[in-house]
Amino acid sequence: MGWNSLTVNQSWIDLSLDKQFVYFVHSYYVPVNIFSSATTEYILKFSSAMKKNNFYAVQFHPEKSATIGEKVLLSFLKIL
């Protein structure tokens, strides 16, 4: 729980978000896999954003991540 940084791997997320901090609220995580768009490291590396086909998801809370979270939400809008 708390702030941690993203490592962006795929460009559906604004690439300027690489190494920026976002807010996580729980300890659940998805292991890094071929669908990982961004990762975060906390004890171990895990998926913080994913994309498979037309499904997009983030593990953190963009609405609680201030200006960086707004950029994440805008990344979702650009997909449309």
Where do the domains of the chain lie, and which CATH numbers do they carry? 2-79 (3.40.50.880)
Position 66 scores a pLDDT of 93
Confidence of residue 78 (pLDDT cuts 50, 70, 90): confident
Q: Whose structure tokens read 């004890």?
A: 43
End-to-end CA distance of the chain: 31
Read off the pLDDT of residues 26-75 as tens digits, 9 standing for 90 and up: 888 999 999 999 999 999 999 999 999 989 999 999 999 999 999 889 98
Report which residue type is found at 79: I
Neighbour-count burial for 1-12, b at 16+ CB within 10 Å, e otherwise: eeeebbbbbeee
Can you give the pTM of this predicted structure?
A: 0.87
Position 42 scores a pLDDT of 92
